[in-house]
Amino acid sequence: MSKASSPSTLSIPNEIGGVRMTKQRKEVYRLLLEKKDHPTAHDIFISLQERMPSISLATVYNCLETLVEHEVLQQVNFDREPSRYCANLKEHGHFLDEKTGKIQDVAFKKDVNIKDLFDLPEDTIIENLDITIRGILPNNSTH
Amino acid sequence: MSKASSPSTLSIPNEIGGVRMTKQRKEVYRLLLEKKDHPTAHDIFISLQERMPSISLATVYNCLETLVEHEVLQQVNFDREPSRYCANLKEHGHFLDEKTGKIQDVAFKKDVNIKDLFDLPEDTIIENLDITIRGILPNNSTH
DNA sequence: AGCTATATTTAGAATAATTCTAAATACAAA
DNA sequence: TTTGTATTTAGAATTATTCTAAATATAGCT
Ligand SMILES: [Mn+2]
Ligand SMILES: [Mn+2]
Ligand SMILES: [Zn+2]
Ligand SMILES: [Zn+2]
């Protein structure tokens, strides 16, 4: 098992798929690498204001849109609640614990290939698969 | 295999979990039993105006909310698009064909118990599971 | 280094789906 | 019939997000 570099150490590239990683984009991305609790655009805006008092909410939205387009972030939606964002690019679902309101990533069990489980015609191309779960974790479960 | 009664024949109960099935609620429900293409509240509003010129959009929203609360309908969300509604109560996912824009139900393969495939603590209670897929169906596939 | 074209950020206005409000209507029970 | 409650209705309000247009930053030149 290789040791992952911590987000503060991790160097974020200066370019990504042809677009510049600006100060603002880097800060948005860095925050999402650090905070794995799936913040909303507004949450991110509030957090970043400490380090970048001049950043605007429109910029946070712009950065998130760009980073999602370039597939370094995922947008996560629970019903019609404000969108949340996630820097985990592994295939995973999202679990909302109704007791705590906290959202966490959910991996699939070993050897499960989720895309093979749907009754779809052969040669169907799956571009994107979103799985969201609402439920209640057992007590004292930090996962 | 038993013959299912057609929606126009099917009698819709006059009460459901303590609330009255009013004219408006019945029409909304009837439409969703007939049209399995997952219409939005606005789609439903436009369709129903022919049979019920006096119905309001607020009422369509109110009816949908009530019917979802009482679990005779499901609300279906693709990212941040307007919510869609579905009268299919079997456990199923939703597939959006990016070529046609059409949404269809997707069943799971035989013997797949989707809730068992997530890496969650034992005794986690799953209240609700939403699965949405975007992709492209092979040509000439009506499913 | 300055110059210039383009990309990005920003504040604030606009949009659009949904929810809310309060008055009118329908209905069930007495 | 009367009366209390549920429901519908039109229109206003809300809110997450997108759009607009002006200001700023940056990369690639000279
Ligand atoms: Mn749902
Ligand atoms: Mn998505
Ligand atoms: Zn995630
Ligand atoms: Zn469905």
User: pTM of the full predicted structure?
Assistant: 0.91
CATH 1.10.10.10 fits A12-86, yes or no: yes
The structure tokens 């946070």 sit at A60
Check whether residue A57 has its CB closer than 7 Å to nucleic acid strand D.
yes
pLDDT band at A143 (very low <50, low <70, confident <90, very high): low
| pLDDT for residue A3 | 47
pLDDT in tens, A116-136: 999 999 999 999 999 999 999
Rounded, the Å distance between the CA of A65 and C1' of D19 is 14
Contact at CB, A121 and B106, closer than 8 angstroms: no
CA of residue A77 to C1' of nucleotide D24, angstroms? 33
Q: What is the spatial distance between Cα B111 and Cα A6, in angstroms, rounded to a whole number?
A: 42
Strand blocks (E) in B1-143: 15-16, 19-20, 74-76, 84-86, 93-97, 103-106, 125-136
pLDDT higher than 60, residue B6: no
Q: Write out pLDDT tens, residues A45-91.
A: 999 999 999 999 999 999 999 999 999 999 999 999 999 999 999 99
- Could you write out the DSSP letters of every residue in A77-111? --TTSPPEEE---SS-EEEEETTT--EEEEPBPTT
Token pair listed for B98 = 């990016």
What secondary structure letter does DSSP report for B143?
A: -
For chain B, state the CA radius of gyration: 17
pLDDT in tens, A10-55: 688 888 888 999 999 999 999 999 999 999 999 999 999 999 999 9
Distance CA A2, CA A18 (A): 29
Is strand D within 7 Å of residue A61 (CB)?
A: yes
First-last CA distance in chain B = 20
